[in-house]
Amino acid sequence: MKIEICVDSIQSALAAQNGGASRIELCDNLIGGGTTPSAGMIELARKYLTIDINVMIRPRSGDFCYSPLEIEVMKKDIEIAKRYGVKGIVIGVLKPNGEIDVNIMKELIELSRPLTVTFHRAFDMTKNPFKSLDILIDLGVERILTSGKESKAMQGIDLIRELVKRAEDKIIIMPGSGVSEENVRFIIDSTGAGEIHLSAKKRIESIMEYRNDRVDMGGSLIVSEYDNYFTCEESVRNITKILNNIK
């Protein structure tokens, strides 16, 4: 059983490793669904971690239909990530009609090799999950991250189970979104998945003493400027223990 922790800081990456994670998905801006981390972040992750690192390649938050310039940025980011010797690349590109953009994916996959390729939760925004599964198998993608086309993996259990069944040993189906200590055993038992993806995050109060609550740097007051979220090492360790007991 492999445990992948999505992180957007070196602090969280170290917590994931110390807690027993098999791999991290290195991102920036998890609050926005995860975007491409900086070169500095990738370099330091490689410096401090011994576990595998998969790097998110996503130029912005929002949908997964990208302009030619955004695709150009993605290609450059893949080249940068490869220089640092990471394990894999995490990508996903769709057409406006909700289908996988096969031509662009072929280009990105070819550029990513010999690294592994994970197709992220853009999969959950595709029109037909089984057609998308077949396309990704044909493209040679190693792994699909999915919540079963629902907001949370618990809600998408039935589809995830069917995807695992259809995937056989051709591609890895990795459930993710809303996975916790409380439900991880149920999700694995219910789907038969061999890998799981989560953030195991906890809120950490900012150390800022002076606070100007009239200003919001992110353009939204949904999340306070003084709320920080980091991976909880204890939570990762607890999940590792739970999954190690699965026969």
The helix/strand/coil state of 174 is: strand
Instruction: Identify whether the C-beta of residue 21 lies closer than 8 Å to the C-beta of residue 5.
Output: yes
What is the pLDDT, as a whole number, of residue 220?
Answer: 52
CA atoms of 148 and 123, how far apart (whole Å): 9
Report pLDDT for 218.
Answer: 62
**For helices 10-19 and 233-244, what crossing angle results, to 10°?**
30
Q: C-alpha angle with apex 3: 236 to 81, nearest 5 degrees?
A: 105
pLDDT at 45 over 70: yes
pTM for this entry: 0.92
pLDDT value for 229: 75
Burial class (CB in 10 A: 0-12, 13-18, 19+), 236: buried
The CATH code belonging to domain 2-244 is: 3.20.20.380
For 173-204, write each residue's pLDDT tens digit.
999 999 999 999 999 999 999 999 999 877 77
Tokens of 179: 């996975």
Name the DSSP letter for residue 100.
Answer: B
Is the pLDDT at 108 greater than 70, yes or no? yes
pLDDT band at 219 (very low <50, low <70, confident <90, very high): low
Backbone φ and ψ for 22, nearest 5 degrees, come out as -80, -30
Q: What is the predicted pLDDT for the residue at 48?
A: 98
d(CA 123, CA 145): 7
pLDDT at res. 209: 67
pLDDT of 199 reads: 93
Q: Look at residue 232 in the predicted model and tell me its pLDDT.
A: 92
Q: What is the pLDDT of residues 82-105, one digit of tens each?
A: 999 999 999 999 999 999 999 999
Count Cα neighbours of 132 within 13 Å in the Cβ-side half-sphere: 30
Confidence at 21, pLDDT banded by 50, 70, 90: very high
Of the chain, the percentage scoring pLDDT greater than 70 comes to: 91
Calpha distance 6→231 (Å, rounded):
8
Q: Looking at residue 159, what is its pLDDT?
A: 99
Tell me the pLDDT band of 245, cut-offs 50, 70 and 90.
Answer: confident
Q: Give the integer Cα–Cα distance in Å for 235 and 87.
A: 24
**Mean pLDDT of the residues in the chain:** 93
Domain segments of the chain: what residues?
A: 2-244
The four Cα atoms 107, 166, 23, 150 give a dihedral, to 10 degrees, of 90
Q: What token pair was written down for 73?
A: 């940025």
- Residues 115 and 129: their CA atoms lie apart, in Å, by 25
The pLDDT value recorded for residue 201 is 79
Per-residue pLDDT, 32: 86
